[in-house]
Structure 1
């Protein structure tokens, strides 16, 4: 029988890429990780790793073992969920990763509700953009991720993950004061009038950047991106100070009146929660998703909701394209 601990190390290598990354994540010495994987090769009787330059990659047989290990770990997580559900008091630690605007607009209200309902549940929140948070969720660094999907920009969702929609968040074209706008109020016409205006956008490689650049190109110009940051509050400030145009989501809005001219775009972004399939019925995950839905409902009924609408509970089937 194969050693489960060593199988988990092989799985960690699959997700983290290097022996050094596995060792750092698990607080092991790299030599210890290498020794354990060598022992696993002896148990299995075939090579599991092959050198590629200074790194190693998994062989076809190692990939088979990782697939079975994923199934074993999912079953173990379901067992943990069943044990937790059998108890009257919800405790332990729930690790959440959230992108900035959801962390600002939704997470504090959800934390209030969780503290009130489950005072013994310890919630740990990390600011992490979806591009990095979702791979970390697969690697079991988090239990729940708040993620986003921009119009026309779906990402791949592995079968090991379960997605549940949270809200449709409206998107706006934010205009600097110096921009010369046409008489029409339509966002398409306003966008076409901005070929020479500086822009602030999220960094290259993010879904938000790809969507924004595509929108500008469809309007007939290449955006002059002079400012790059994931901080959408800074996006808003640069527009307010007449330094750039930007695309802003509704969740970035606070209870103060907008200080910039906004043109609402026709399609919203989707905000959703993602967990591993084995954690979907865990009481802590259920409680957190419920608290987040309450936060969305409370926000949508307030003056600062900026048009955000709670999404119907639409968990997509495993493997369907999504973020």
Structure 2
């Protein structure tokens, strides 16, 4: 029978990419990781790694082993969940990763509910964008991730992860000044075009939000002049408030308060992003995960009830 500890190291290598990254994550010496994987190769009787430049990659046989290791670890997580369910009190640590606006608008309320109902459960929250948090979830650095998906930008759904929708978050075009008899009053597309010569604030290149925003502008017939790049949507909001830039902003950025800048509707099919939770299959029935998801659902319901409607769009903006 193959050594499970060594199999887990091989799995870590698949998800983290380098021996050094595995060693850092598990607080091992790189030489120790390499030695353990060499012993696993001896156990299996075939090469598991092959050099690619200064790095290594998994062989076909190693990929087969990792797939079976994933199945074994999923069963072990289900066993852990059943043990936790058998206990009368929820304890331990739940590690959550969340993107900024969900962390501001939903997580504090959910934490309050968890504190009241499960006072011995320790919750550790990390601000991490979904494109980084989801691979870390697969690598078992987190237990639950709050993620987002923009219109027309579906993300791959790895078989070992399980998603649950939380809420649809309306998206708006935020104007750096109140429109007065401009093309912005004609239609969502005209509102976008009226800002073609203005500076823009957007998320960094390579992010799903940036891809979505660029697609919107190009479909309206212009290339946006991006002056400000950041994942900090509160900074986007401040830039719009100070009339430095236009931006696309979701409802969650106001955290239940009334919007502070003029807003226009976006074109049909581009008006909401999906917010959801993601966990590993096998841990989805763990009582801590179930309790956290329940608390987040209630926080989302409260957010919807307390969020005022946005200011009326310009008169013909439909």
- The TM-score bracket by the shorter chain reads over 0.9
- Paired position in structure 1 for 2:60: 60
CA 1:183 to 1:227, structure 2 compared with 1: closer, same or farther past 3 Å?
Answer: closer
Q: Which runs of 5+ in 2 are unaligned?
A: 312-318
Aligned residue in 1 for 2:272: 268
Give the equivalent residue in structure 1 for 2:46: 46
- Provide the alpha-carbon RMSD of the alignment: 1.5
Deviation for aligned residue 1:84: 0.5
Aligned position for 2:314: none
Distance 1:59 1:191, change over 3 A: same
Instruction: Indicate the residue corresponding to 1:11 in structure 2.
Output: 11
> Could you say which residue in structure 2 is the equivalent of 1:232?
233
Q: C-alpha deviations, 1:173-219, integer Å up to 9, x for none?
A: 00112877326253222012121111000001110000000000000
SS at match of 1:278: coil
Contact 1:18-1:55 within 8 A present in 2 as well = yes
How do 1:113-262 residues align onto structure 2 when only pairs under 5 Å count? 113-177=113-177, 181-182=182-183, 184=185, 186-262=187-263
Out of 285, 288, 294, the residue aligned to residue 284 of structure 1 is 288
Aligned to 1:318: none
Match of 1:32 in 2: 32
TM-fit CA distance, 1:257: 3.4
Which residue pairs with 2:301 in the alignment?
297
Alpha-carbon distance in 2 for matches of 1:111, 1:60: 44
Output one character per residue of 1:1-44: Cα deviation in whole Å (capped at 9) or x when no partner: 10000000000000000000000000000000000000000000
Q: Answer yes or no: is the 8 Å Cα contact 1:299–1:305 preserved in 2.
A: no
TM-score (norm 2): 0.94
Q: Is the CA contact (8 Å cut-off) linking 2:256 and 2:303 kept in structure 1?
A: no
Query: Quick one: distance in 1 between partners of 2:143 and 2:216?
Result: 34
| Structure 1 gap ranges (5+) | 308-323
Q: Is the 8 A contact 1:97 1:126 kept in 2?
A: yes
> Which stretch shifts more, 63-72 or 257-266?
257-266
Distance 2:37 2:22 in 1: 12
Does the CA-based 8 Å contact 1:251-1:305 persist in structure 2? no
Distance, in Å, in 1 between the alignment partners of 2:160 and 2:259 is 41
1:259 CA displacement: 2.5
**Which residue is 2:316 aligned to?**
none
Supply the distance in 2 between the matched residues of 1:62 and 1:190 (Cα, whole angstroms).
Answer: 54
Change over 3 Å in CA distance of 1:112–1:304 after alignment to 2: farther
SS of residue paired to 2:196: coil
Counterpart contact for 2:178–2:262, Cα < 8 Å: no
Q: How many residues align?
A: 307
- 1:93 and 1:122 in contact (8 A); partners too: yes
> Any conservation in 1 of the 2:162–2:279 contact (CA below 8 Å)?
yes
> Mean alpha-carbon deviation: is it higher for 261-270 or for 225-234?
261-270
TM-score computed with the length of structure 1 as normaliser: 0.92
- For 1:68-147, list aligned pairs within 5 A: 68-147=68-147
